[in-house]
Amino acid sequence: MSGAGSSIEQLLAAKEVVVVCGSGGVGKTTTAAALATVAAADLGGKVLVLTVDPARRLAAAMGLARLGNVETRVDPGAFADAGLEPRGELWAAMLDTKQSWDDLVRRHAPDAATRDAILANPLYRNVAGRFVQSHDYIAMERLYELHSSGAYDLIVVDTPPTRHALDFLEAPERMADFFSSRLLRWLLMPYRSRLVNAASRPFHQVADRVLGTVFLRDIAEFFMLFQAMYEGFVERAKAVERVLEDHRTTFVVVTTLESAPAHEARRFVEVLRSKRLHLGALVLNRVLPAELLDRASTEAARRLSASPETVAAAVLAGQPDLVDDPKLLARVLQELGESFLNFQVVAKREAEQRAELGVSAEVVATVPSLDTDIFDIAGLVRLGEQLRRS
């Protein structure tokens, strides 16, 4: 399936940043962790996975406390428990939006007074974390910071569940727009000079009646403080964008084969293409086994479901000791047939989605639905092996 000599393994070896994206709940966090784990185990070097809201047990497996932005090395003992001797180091970090915002403010504030005023502003405390898709922006911002620190050979980035999969791609640009917006300046005008111009007066009058002057002043103060950091922000947003566009960065789109996530994945692939970003691989996660489509097995299932008594009688003729109750056997046989046919319906739907999706990427990895949740290094390795082999 991997044409032109490319594979997930090669991506992990050649790229410096792997951004894992896809719609909600498809397995982004798990996939990102699995990719980083096999990269650290097999390829060596220092590998960091930057995760967002991992399931508690997964976080625990990687030694991450619930909160905090600090990078932690995953205990090599966890690999040993899984019977592995990793060639490299696996590091993990979580994304703490609030703390990242505070760090940003500290970095960009022109002076201590502005910094403290912002951090203390009640509106800021409300806003940080909810501010114009701030989560998306912060994810990209942290990526930039970690990448430019040069401390890691490979960074695998998990992305937050966004309403639309592409939100976070546009977050840096939107953030820059936001701070350079003419509207913002217009909004602040009356608080800067006493001169309210004719154009904005009706707005302020309405706004006053609707929201109240005090609130408007709070908002204005907040944005004025933020404006002091404007240049730093815009520059930073552009730098973040450059990392995404860099040829050392690649995107891995994860999806299940259900209709909604698959639809979102198709859109995502289109957007990557139109933005000239590198689509490294498409991961089809939690896929039902292809055996469900097998012809002969379908015949068998149909027969079991249509004439379970006849089959039961025939089996018992040769194996009289199998069960005492032929009716019980017939019931089991019928269930077997029907269950196969039920799952086959889903598998067929998945096959259709796969046919449509499969053509959109050079590397397509298929990961079966594993029978347990993935919450330890051994599970991640198991999943990572599946991915790597594709």
Partner 1 sequence: MLARRLLFVTGKGGVGKTTIAAALGLLAAREGLRTLVCEVDAKGDLPAALEAGEVGFTARELEPRLFAMAMDTEESLKEYLALHLHLPRLSRLGPLARTFEFLANAAPGVKEILTVGKLAWEVRERHYDLVVVDAAASGHVVGQLRAPQAINELLSVGLVREQTDWMIDLLTDPATTGVVIVAAPEEMPVTESLELVDHLDSTGVDLAGVVVNRVLPELFGRAEEEVFARLVEPAASTALSGAVGHPVNRVLGAARLAVTLRRTRAAHLARLRQGLGPGRTVLYVPELFDRGHGRRAIVQVAEALAAELS
Ligand X SMILES: Nc1ncnc2c1ncn2[C@@H]1O[C@H](COP(=O)(O)OP(=O)(O)OP(=O)(O)O)[C@@H](O)[C@H]1O
The residues of the shown chain that bind ligand X, judged by CB under 6 A, are 24-30, 53, 55, 161, 258-260, 285-286, 367, 369-370, 373-374
Q: Quick one: which segment of 23-31, 73-81, 303-311, 371-379 binds Mg ion (CB under 5 A)?
A: 23-31
Give the residue carrying structure tokens 């890691």. 152
72-91 residues near partner 1, rule: CB under 8 A: none
Alpha-helical segments (H) within the chain: 8-14, 28-38, 56-61, 76-81, 97-108, 112-120, 122-127, 134-149, 167-180, 182-192, 201-211, 213-227, 230-245, 259-274, 295-306, 308-318, 326-358, 377-389
196-235 residues near partner 1, rule: CB under 8 A: 199, 202-203, 206-215, 218-219, 223
Give the strand pairing for 154-158 and 279-287. Answer: unpaired
Residue 203 CA, chain-centre distance (Å), reads 40
> Which CB atom, from 148 or from 213, has the smaller least distance to partner 1?
213
Q: Are 57 and 373 in contact (CB under 8 A)?
A: yes
Residue 223: contacted member of partner 1, ligand X, Mg ion, none (CB under 5 to 8 Å, by partner type): partner 1
Report the residue from 8, 17, 23, 29 that binds Mg ion according to the rule CB under 5 A. Answer: 29
Report the residue from 231, 235, 291, 356 that binds partner 1 according to the rule CB under 8 A. Answer: 291
Is residue 283 part of the contact set for partner 1 (CB under 8 A)?
Answer: no
Q: Are 351 and 294 in contact (CB under 8 A)?
A: no
Q: Are 323 and 348 in contact (CB under 8 A)?
A: no
281 phi/psi in degrees, rounded to 5: -160, 155
Which residues, in sequence order, are bridge partners of residue 254?
A: 283
Is residue 267 part of the contact set for partner 1 (CB under 8 A)?
Answer: no
The DSSP secondary structure of 290-359, one letter per residue, reads GGGG-HHHHHHHHHHHH-HHHHHHHHHHH-TTS-S-HHHHHHHHHHHHHHHHHHHHHHHHHHHHHHHHHT
112 phi/psi in degrees, rounded to 5: -65, -35
Give the residue carrying structure tokens 């139109």. 274
Q: How many CB atoms lie within 10 A of CB 84?
A: 18
> Which CB atom, from 97 or from 114, has the smaller least distance to ligand X?
97
Report the residue from 1, 14, 24, 116 that binds partner 1 according to the rule CB under 8 A. Answer: 24
> Which CB atom, from 46 or from 267, has the smaller least distance to partner 1?
267
> Which CB atom, from 64 or from 363, has the smaller least distance to partner 1?
64
Residue 60: contacted member of Mg ion, ligand X, partner 1, none (CB under 5 to 8 Å, by partner type): none
Residue type, 222: F
Which residues, in sequence order, are bridge partners of residue 89?
A: 46
> Which CB atom, from 209 or from 247, has the smaller least distance to partner 1?
209
> Which CB atom, from 29 or from 334, has the smaller least distance to Mg ion?
29
- Site map for partner 1, 322-351, x if CB under 8 A? xx----xx-xxx-xxx-xx-xx-xx--x--
Residue 285: contacted member of ligand X, partner 1, Mg ion, none (CB under 5 to 8 Å, by partner type): ligand X
Which residues, in sequence order, are bridge partners of residue 212?
A: none
Distance of closest approach, residue 121 Cβ to partner 1, in angstroms: 12
Residue 289: contacted member of partner 1, ligand X, Mg ion, none (CB under 5 to 8 Å, by partner type): partner 1
Euclidean distance between CA atoms 329 and 309, whole angstroms: 8
Distance of closest approach, residue 124 Cβ to ligand X, in angstroms: 26
Give the strand pairing for 46-51 and 279-287. Answer: unpaired
Distance of closest approach, residue 17 Cβ to Mg ion, in angstroms: 18
Q: Are 229 and 324 in contact (CB under 8 A)?
A: no
> Which CB atom, from 44 or from 161, has the smaller least distance to partner 1?
161
> Which CB atom, from 28 or from 142, has the smaller least distance to Mg ion?
28
Distance of closest approach, residue 66 Cβ to ligand X, in angstroms: 15
> Which CB atom, from 76 or from 161, has the smaller least distance to ligand X?
161
Residue 144: contacted member of partner 1, Mg ion, ligand X, none (CB under 5 to 8 Å, by partner type): none
Euclidean distance between CA atoms 208 and 369, whole angstroms: 56
Is residue 30 part of the contact set for Mg ion (CB under 5 A)?
Answer: no
Distance of closest approach, residue 381 Cβ to partner 1, in angstroms: 19
Is residue 319 part of the contact set for partner 1 (CB under 8 A)?
Answer: yes
Binding-site ranges for Mg ion (CB under 5 A): 28-29
